[in-house]
C-alpha cells in the first residue's frame, strides 16, 4: 500500500509541477497577479508530494519490503539501520528521487524566501524550476520508478554494494545534490532575467546567495566524496581524475566563477551578460554531471544498474534545458546593456581574470572527460585520459589563478594600480617566497611541492593581510576590534574562503611528498617508512554485523615510542560475495599514517603502507572554504534582501 | 577608457585565455593519451617501451604466479590473453580482490623490450559479473564472442574460454 502512495505522490507532483510551470510563466507574461500568486503555493505542494514519495521509499527500505523491486535489488534485512535508510538513495532510482526532492526543496525555498522579489520575477523563477522538475519527475515515472513491485516477493534482498555501506553515503549524495541542484535556482533566475530582458544590481543581489549556498554545499559534497574515496577505497589517494569526479568539479568551477562575477553585477552593474551565461553554464555542467553519472556511459561505483533508454532520456532533457537556455541567451543577451565601466587593472579586472581562468580550467576538464567518450563513439578508438593529462594541462592555468586571487580583494573598484596592491601584501609575498625556497632546499629540489607550499603560504597570509588592513590592525590597533565587528560578514567570508583554499593547497603540496611501500611481512617483522617502524603483530578473525573480517594489528613506533596501533581489515560480505579493504588511518595532523591489509600467504600478510604528509588539510581547507561561503551568506546585506517573516506565512498557507 | 576599448580588452583577454587553454589541452593530449591495446594489437604492432598504455583481456587460466621479490615486495606474474594471442605481465603490488584467473582485467603500464608488460596498475572492478567494455570488445575482435549470436555469456563462463579451446575464428 505505502509504495503505491509513494508512486501516486510522484504522479501528483508531476501534475502540480505542470500547473506551477504554466501558472508561473503564463501568469508573469500576462501580468496576472492571481496566476502569479498561485505559483508559490503550488511549489509548496510539489515539495510536500515529493517529500511524501521520498518518505514512502525510505519506509520501504526500513521495513525491508521485499515486494518492492528496488528494495530487493539494493537492500537486505541484515544491514544496519543507517545503511537501510541511506541505501534508499544508494541506487539509480532512489538517487534520482533525491535529486528531485532537493529540486523541490529549492522551489519551496524560492517560494518561501522570495516574497521580496518582484512578483513577476518570482513567478518566472518558480515556473522555470517547475519545468526542470517536470522533466525529471517524468523521467523517474517513465524509466526509473523506484516503487515497482515484484511478485512473488523473494525471501530477502540482494544487499547493498559493500563499498556504499558507509556513513559517507548518508551525507555525500545529499550534500552534492544540494550543490548540483542549487544551481538550478541560479539557472532559473538567469532564464527569468533573459525573458524579462533585464539584469540589474538587484538581480545580482538575489542570485548571489543562491550561488553561494549551492557552491558551499558542492564544496562540502566534493570534499566528502574525496575523503570517502581516500579512506574507503584504500588506494591512498584523494583524487583520481575519474570522469565521475570531473563531473562534480566542472559545476564547481563554473559556480565559483558565477559567484565572483555576481559580485560585479551587484556592486558595479557590469559583466551582466557574462554572469547570466555563467549561471546557465553552471547548471549545464550540473546536468552534464548527472548525465555522465546516471546514464551508464561511465562505469564506476556511481553507475548503478543501467539501461540505455535512461541515458537517452537524460540526454534529451540536457539538450532541452541547456540548449533552450543558450538559445534564449543568444536571442535576448543583446538587450542587456552594461553600465559600469572599469579599467583592466581594477577589482573588476581581477574578477574577470578569475572568471577566465576558472572557465579555462573547466574547459580543460570538460575536454579531458568527454574526448575519450567522443572518440570511442565516433572514431572507434579506445583510450583514456589519466591524471598526467589533467596535471600538465591545469597546472599552468592554476598558477596565475592562485597568484592573482590574493590581489583582487585588495584592489579598489573601477581603477587600481598594481604596485600599491602589491605593497599591501609585501610580507605575505615574502613569506610565500621563503616557504618556496625553504621547501625547495629541504625536499631535494622538487618543484611541484615547493611551488605548492609557497602558494599556500602566500594565499593564507594575503587573506590575513587583507583583513588586518581592513580593520587597521597595525595602524590603529585599539580600534581594530570595533572595526572587526563592523566589517561586513561578506568580507570576512571571502577572506576565510580564500584562506581555506590556501589550507587546501597546503594539503595538496604535502600530498606531493607522499611515500608508500608494499611488503610481505610475517608476524613480528617490521617495515620502515618515513622514519617510522610498522610492526605486524598478527592477523585475526573479526566478526561484523553483515560481514566477516580478517583484522591485522600493526604497531607503529617512532624509535622506541609507540605512536599508535593500527588495525586494517579485509571484510568479506557473504550476501554480495564481495571483499573490501578497510584502511586503518592514524592522523597526527602533520601526516596520515595509512595501512592497508592485502592478501595473506606464506604465513604472512601483504601490507601497503602510505605516509601522507598534511593529507587531512585538504578536506579541512575545503570545509573552511564552505564555512567562508556560509559566513558570507549570513551577511546582513544578503538577509535584508531575503526576509524570513513572510516565509512562514507562505509555508503555512500551503 | 572608452566602452569600445574596454570591450576590445575583454575580447583579447578571452581569446588569450581560451587560446592558451586549447593549446594546453592539445599539447597535454599529445603526450598523455593512454591507448587501449589487446594482446592481438600488440602482436601486430608492439608499442614503444616509453609509451604507457592499457592492456586488457582475460587472465589466462593457470598462469598466475605470486612470488616475493628479493627486497620483500610481493610480485605477481600472469598472462593476459584475448584468445588469439597472450602477453606476459609482471606487477609489483597487491592484486585487487576481484582478480581471478579467467576473468577480464585491465592493466596500465609499459611494454618492456623483452616483450613483458610491466604493469603499474591492475584494475578489476567492484563487481564480480563485470566485464570491462574494452575487454568485451577485444574478445569480439579476436572471435571469442560473436555479438550476432546474442548477449555475451555471463562472466563466470569466460573462465572456460582458454586460448586452446577457442572457437574457430572469424575474420577480424
Q: Is residue B161 part of a domain?
A: yes
Amino acid A577: pLDDT? 74
Q: Is residue B172 part of a domain?
A: no
User: Over the stretch A265-288, which tens digit does the pLDDT of each residue have?
Assistant: 888 888 888 899 999 999 999 999
The C-alpha atoms of residue A120 and residue A101 are separated, in whole angstroms, by 25
Sorting pLDDT into bands at 50, 70 and 90, what band is A40?
very high
Is the per-residue pLDDT at A303 higher than 60? no
Computed over every residue of chain A, the mean pLDDT equals: 88
Is the per-residue pLDDT at B81 higher than 80? yes
* Section A78-105 average pLDDT: 91
Amino acid A249: pLDDT? 95
Long-range contacts of B123-128 (CB under 8 A, 24+ apart): B123/B96, B124/B95, B124/B96, B124/B97, B124/B98, B124/B99, B125/A299, B125/B98, B126/A161, B126/A163, B126/A301, B126/A578, B126/B98, B127/A161, B127/A578, B127/B98, B128/A577, B128/A578, B128/B98, B128/B155
User: Over the stretch A203-250, which tens digit does the pLDDT of each residue have?
Assistant: 988 899 999 999 999 999 999 999 998 988 777 888 988 888 899 999
Amino acid A46: pLDDT? 97
Using CB atoms, pick whichever of A397, A598, A606 lies closest to residue B21.
A397
**Residues B116 and B153 placed together within one structural domain of the fold:** yes
**Residues B73 and B113 placed together within one structural domain of the fold:** yes
The C-alpha atoms of residue B41 and residue B44 are separated, in whole angstroms, by 5
Contact residues, A window 418-437, toward B, CB-based 8 Å cutoff = none
* ipTM for this model: 0.74
**Residues B13 and B58 placed together within one structural domain of the fold:** no
Q: Is residue B84 part of a domain?
A: yes
Contacting residues for A446 by C-beta, under 8 A, at least 6 apart? A440, A512, A513
Residues from chain B that touch A363, judged by Cβ atoms under 8 A, are 18, 21-22, 25
Amino acid B82: pLDDT? 81
**Residues B51 and B24 placed together within one structural domain of the fold:** no
- Ligand-binding site membership of B130 (annotated): yes
Amino acid A566: pLDDT? 94
Which CATH number is B104's domain given?
A: 2.40.50.140
Contact residues, A window 573-602, toward B, CB-based 8 Å cutoff = 577-581, 596, 598-599, 601-602
Distances (CA, A) of A401 to A127, A347, A355, A394, A406: 37, 14, 9, 11, 9
Are A382 and B35 an interchain contact pair (Cβ–Cβ within 8 Å)?
yes
Sorting pLDDT into bands at 50, 70 and 90, what band is B164?
very low
More confident call, A336 vs A475: A475
**Residues B27 and B50 placed together within one structural domain of the fold:** no
- A485 to chain B nearest CA, in Å? 37
Are A341 and B3 an interchain contact pair (Cβ–Cβ within 8 Å)?
yes
Amino acid A181: pLDDT? 92
Q: Percentage of chain A surpassing pLDDT 90?
A: 51
Sorting pLDDT into bands at 50, 70 and 90, what band is A177?
very high
User: Over the stretch A363-402, which tens digit does the pLDDT of each residue have?
Assistant: 999 999 988 888 877 887 778 888 889 988 999 899 999 9
User: Over the stretch B91-144, which tens digit does the pLDDT of each residue have?
Assistant: 988 777 778 777 778 888 999 888 899 998 887 654 555 566 667 777 777 666
β-pair partners for A607: A519, A597
**Residues B82 and B105 placed together within one structural domain of the fold:** yes
Sorting pLDDT into bands at 50, 70 and 90, what band is B150?
low
Length of chain B: 172
User: Over the stretch A428-453, which tens digit does the pLDDT of each residue have?
Assistant: 889 999 998 888 888 777 888 899 99
**Residues B160 and B76 placed together within one structural domain of the fold:** yes
**Residues B94 and B19 placed together within one structural domain of the fold:** no
Is the per-residue pLDDT at A105 higher than 60? yes
DSSP line for A26-59: HHHHHT-HHHHHHHHHHHHHHHHHHHHHHHHHHH
Is the per-residue pLDDT at A644 higher than 60? no
Maximum CA extent, chain B: 78
Amino acid A540: pLDDT? 92
More confident call, A412 vs A653: A412
Q: B17 is in which domain, residue-wise?
A: 1-32
Is the per-residue pLDDT at A134 higher than 80? yes
Using CB atoms, pick whichever of B27, B34, B95 lies closest to residue A386.
B34
Sorting pLDDT into bands at 50, 70 and 90, what band is B149?
low
Amino acid A334: pLDDT? 78
Is the per-residue pLDDT at A643 higher than 50? no
Residues from chain A that touch B25, judged by Cβ atoms under 8 A, are 363-364, 367-368, 393
Are B18 and A341 an interchain contact pair (Cβ–Cβ within 8 Å)?
no
Q: Percentage of chain B surpassing pLDDT 90?
A: 8
More confident call, A541 vs A638: A541
Q: Is residue B110 part of a domain?
A: yes
**Residues B28 and B84 placed together within one structural domain of the fold:** no
Distances (CA, A) of B108 to A32, A462, B71, B124: 63, 42, 23, 11
Q: Is the dihedral of CA A161, A162, A166, A168 positive or negative?
A: negative
User: Over the stretch B14-52, which tens digit does the pLDDT of each residue have?
Assistant: 788 788 888 888 888 877 888 888 888 888 888 888 888
**Residues B110 and B129 placed together within one structural domain of the fold:** yes
Amino acid B105: pLDDT? 84
Count Cβ atoms within 10 A of the Cβ of residue A169 and give its class: 0-12 exposed, 13-18 middle, 19 or more buried.
buried
Q: Is residue B7 part of a domain?
A: yes
**Residues B89 and B130 placed together within one structural domain of the fold:** yes
Residues from chain A that touch B126, judged by Cβ atoms under 8 A, are 161, 163, 301, 578
More confident call, A497 vs A376: A497
Q: Is residue B104 part of a domain?
A: yes
- B167 to chain A nearest CA, in Å? 25
- Ligand-binding site membership of B144 (annotated): no
More confident call, B64 vs B172: B64
Give yes or no for A370 touching B (CB within 8 A): no
Q: Total domain count for chain B? A: 2
Sorting pLDDT into bands at 50, 70 and 90, what band is A471?
confident
Amino acid B151: pLDDT? 53
Q: Is residue B108 part of a domain?
A: yes
Other beta carbons within 10 angstroms of residue B152's beta carbon come to: 16
**Residues B24 and B99 placed together within one structural domain of the fold:** no
Q: Is residue B74 part of a domain?
A: yes
Amino acid A332: pLDDT? 86
Residues from chain B that touch A341, judged by Cβ atoms under 8 A, are 1, 3, 6
* Section A91-112 average pLDDT: 94
Amino acid at each position: 500500500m505505502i509504495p503505491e502512495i509513494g508512486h501516486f505522490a510522484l504522479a501528483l507532483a508531476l501534475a502540480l509541477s505542470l500547473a506551477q510551470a504554466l501558472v508561473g510563466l503564463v501568469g508573469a507574461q500576462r501580468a496576472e497577479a492571481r496566476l502569479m500568486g498561485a505559483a508559490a503555493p503550488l511549489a509548496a505542494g510539489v515539495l510536500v508530494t515529493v517529500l511524501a514519495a521520498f518518505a514512502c521509499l525510505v519506509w520501504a527500505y526500513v521495513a525491508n519490503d521485499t515486494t518492492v523491486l528496488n528494495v530487493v535489488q539494493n537492500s537486505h534485512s541484515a544491514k544496519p539501520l543507517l545503511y537501510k535508510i541511506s541505501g534508499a538513495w544508494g541506487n539509480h532510482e532512489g538517487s534520482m528521487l533525491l535529486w528531485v526532492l532537493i529540486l523541490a526543496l529549492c522551489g519551496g525555498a524560492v517560494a518561501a524566501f522570495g516574497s521580496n522579489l518582484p512578483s513577476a520575477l518570482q513567478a518566472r523563477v518558480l515556473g522555470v524550476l517547475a519545468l526542470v522538475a517536470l522533466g525529471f519527475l517524468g523521467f523517474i515515472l517513465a524509466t526509473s520508478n523506484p516503487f515497482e513491485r515484484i511478485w512473488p516477493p523473494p525471501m530477502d534482498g540482494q544487499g547493498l554494494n559493500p563499498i556504499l555501506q558507509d556513513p559517507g553515503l548518508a551525507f555525500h549524495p545529499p550534500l552534492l545534490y544540494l550543490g548540483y541542484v542549487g544551481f538550478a535556482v541560479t539557472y532559473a533566475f538567469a532564464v527569468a532575467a533573459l525573458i524579462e530582458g533585464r539584469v540589474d544590481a538587484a538581480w545580482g543581489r538575489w542570485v548571489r546567495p543562491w550561488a553561494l549556498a549551492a557552491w558551499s554545499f558542492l564544496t562540502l559534497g566534493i570534499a566528502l566524496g574525496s575523503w570517502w574515496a581516500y579512506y574507503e577505497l584504500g588506494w591512498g589517494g584523494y583524487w583520481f581524475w575519474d570522469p565521475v569526479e570531473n563531473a562534480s568539479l566542472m559545476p564547481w568551477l563554473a559556480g565559483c566563477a558565477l559567484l565572483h562575477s555576481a559580485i560585479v553585477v551587484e556592486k558595479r552593474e557590469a559583466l551582466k551578460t557574462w554572469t547570466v551565461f555563467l549561471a546557465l553554464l553552471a547548471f549545464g555542467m550540473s546536468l552534464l554531471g548527472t548525465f555522465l553519472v546516471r546514464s551508464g556511459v561511465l562505469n564506476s561505483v556511481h553507475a548503478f544498474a543501467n539501461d540505455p533508454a535512461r541515458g537517452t532520456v537524460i540526454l534529451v532533457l540536457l539538450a532541452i534545458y541547456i540548449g533552450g537556455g543558450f538559445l534564449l541567451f543568444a536571442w535576448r543577451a543583446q538587450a542587456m546593456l552594461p553600465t559600469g565601466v572599469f579599467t583592466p587593472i581594477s577589482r573588476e579586472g581581477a574578477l574577470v581574470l578569475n572568471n577566465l581562468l576558472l572557465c579555462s580550467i573547466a574547459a580543460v576538464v570538460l575536454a579531458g572527460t568527454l574526448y575519450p567518450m567522443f572518440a570511442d563513439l565516433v572514431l572507434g578508438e579506445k583510450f583514456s585520459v589519466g591524471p598526467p593529462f589533467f596535471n600538465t594541462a591545469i597546472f599552468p592555468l592554476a598558477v596565475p589563478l592562485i597568484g592573482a586571487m590574493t590581489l583582487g580583494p585588495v584592489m579598489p573598484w573601477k581603477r587600481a594600480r598594481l604596485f600599491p596592491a602589491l605593497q599591501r601584501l609585501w610580507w605575505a609575498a615574502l613569506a610565500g617566497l621563503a616557504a618556496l625556497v625553504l621547501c625547495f632546499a629541504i625536499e631535494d629540489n622538487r618543484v611541484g611541492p615547493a611551488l605548492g607550499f609557497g602558494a599556500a603560504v602566500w594565499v593564507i597570509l594575503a587573506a590575513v593581510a587583507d583583513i588586518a588592513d581592513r580593520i587597521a590592525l597595525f595602524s590603529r590597533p585599539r580600534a581594530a576590534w570595533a572595526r572587526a565587528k563592523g566589517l561586513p560578514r561578506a568580507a570576512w567570508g571571502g577572506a576565510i574562503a580564500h584562506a581555506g583554499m590556501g589550507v587546501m593547497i597546503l594539503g595538496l603540496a604535502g600530498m606531493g611528498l607522499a611515500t608508500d611501500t608494499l611488503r610481505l611481512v610475517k608476524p613480528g617483522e617490521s617495515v620502515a617508512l618515513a622514519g617510522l617502524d610498522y610492526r605486524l603483530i598478527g592477523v585475526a578473525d573479526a566478526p561484523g554485523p553483515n560481514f566477516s573480517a580478517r583484522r591485522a594489528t600493526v604497531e607503529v613506533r617512532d624509535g622506541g615510542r609507540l605512536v599508535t596501533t593500527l588495525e586494517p581489515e579485509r571484510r568479506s560480505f557473504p550476501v554480495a560475495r564481495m571483499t573490501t579493504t578497510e584502511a586503518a588511518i592514524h592522523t597526527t595532523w602533520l601526516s596520515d599514517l595509512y595501512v592497508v591489509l592485502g592478501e595473506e600467504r606464506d604465513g604472512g600478510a601483504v601490507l601497503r603502507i602510505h605516509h601522507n604528509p598534511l593529507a587531512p588539510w585538504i578536506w579541512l581547507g575545503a570545509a573552511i572554504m564552505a564555512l567562508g561561503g556560509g559566513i558570507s551568506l549570513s551577511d546582513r546585506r544578503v538577509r535584508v534582501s531575503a526576509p524570513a517573516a513572510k516565509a512562514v506565512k507562505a509555508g503555512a498557507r500551503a | 577608457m572608452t566602452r569600445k576599448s574596454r570591450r576590445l580588452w575583454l575580447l583579447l583577454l578571452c581569446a588569450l585565455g581560451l587560446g592558451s587553454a586549447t593549446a594546453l589541452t592539445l599539447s597535454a593530449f599529445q603526450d598523455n593519451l593512454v591507448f587501449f591495446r589487446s594482446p592481438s594489437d600488440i602482436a601486430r604492432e608492439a608499442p614503444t617501451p616509453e609509451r604507457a598504455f592499457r592492456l586488457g583481456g582475460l587472465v589466462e587460466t593457470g598462469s598466475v604466479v605470486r612470488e616475493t621479490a628479493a627486497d620483500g615486495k610481493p610480485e605477481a606474474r600472469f598472462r593476459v590473453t584475448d584468445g588469439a594471442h597472450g602477453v606476459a605481465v609482471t606487477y609489483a603490488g597487491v592484486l585487487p580482490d576481484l582478480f581471478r584467473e579467467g576473468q577480464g582485467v585491465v592493466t596500465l603500464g609499459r611494454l618492456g623490450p623483452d616483450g613483458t608488460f610491466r604493469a603499474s596498475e591492475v584494475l578489476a572492478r567492484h563487481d564480480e559479473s563485470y566485464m570491462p567494455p574494452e575487454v568485451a570488445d577485444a574478445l569480439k575482435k579476436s572471435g571469442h564472442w560473436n555479438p550476432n549470436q546474442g548477449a555475451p555469456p555471463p562472466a563466470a563462463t569466460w573462465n572456460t574460454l582458454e586460448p586452446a579451446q577457442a572457437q574457430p575464428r572469424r575474420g577480424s
